[in-house]
Amino acid sequence: MDEQKLVQKIINGNQAAIKTFYDQYSPVLLSCISLKVDRREDAEEILQDTWMSIFDSLPLFNYRSSFLTWACAIAKHEIADFYRKKKIKHLIFSHLPFLENIVSQALGPEMTYQQKEIKQDLEKALSRLSEGYRQILRLKYIEGYSMAKIAGKLEISVKAVESRLSRARIAFQKEWQTNYQLDYCASSPFSPSKKVI
């Protein structure tokens, strides 16, 4: 059966056509993804996301290229999304050292659009915290104070600084995950359709 007829059957919901398509192209797509992704489990996850995007976007397929070329382009966008999500998750769950990087980049002349967006959302997230938490996070990650210097400034012990900083990090992470993390895990603007994790 030619590709165009098979695509039309899939669009019409023909289960046999869907299975044929999936079985035929999955090994090739997985090989393509595996060239860019080290872990087999990650490659398989990206493959599933690729198929979701393919089936969502299939009515837009215009036959100007082969299906495989088009599907591989979608897979490339899914790989980029995967690494972007992984980077954001790493930033969120690594106890905020990324604040230092964002601030230092923000002060430089070559700040990217995405860095500006993250910085703005970072400021919004911080503004939702209590004054005490905002203060200690700013002193540590924006001003770059040592624990001892923070203790002196706040007139509390270093142990109290560690405890307050730990609670402030947790509060920030909860705020970020609740109100901002999904913004950075949304669809790639290049991808025709993509679920949000």
* pLDDT digit string, tens, across residues 94-146: 545 555 555 445 444 455 566 567 667 777 888 889 999 989 988 887 777 88
What is the pTM assigned to this prediction? 0.48
Does the structural domain 3-82 have CATH classification 3.30.390.50? no
pLDDT at residue 2 in the model: 79
Q: Which residues of 127-139 are buried (b: 16+ CB within 10 A; e: fewer)?
A: eebeeebbbbbeb
Assign domain 98-184 to its CATH architecture.
Orthogonal Bundle (1.10)
pLDDT at residue 192 in the model: 34
pLDDT digits (tens, 9 = 90+) for 136-192: 988 887 777 889 999 999 999 999 999 998 898 888 888 877 776 544 444 333 233
Dump the DSSP string for 126-147: HHTS-HHHHHHHIIIIIS---H
CA distance 103 to 122: 10
pLDDT at residue 35 in the model: 93
pLDDT at residue 151 in the model: 93
Work out the angle at residue 80's Cα, subtended by the Cα atoms of residues 74 and 84, and round it to the nearest 5 degrees.
Answer: 140
Q: What is the dihedral angle through the alpha carbons of 118, 119, 124, 130, rounded to the nearest 10 degrees?
A: 120
Share of the chain above pLDDT 90, in %: 33
Q: What is the mean pLDDT of the chain?
A: 78
Q: Where are the domains of the chain?
A: 3-82, 98-184
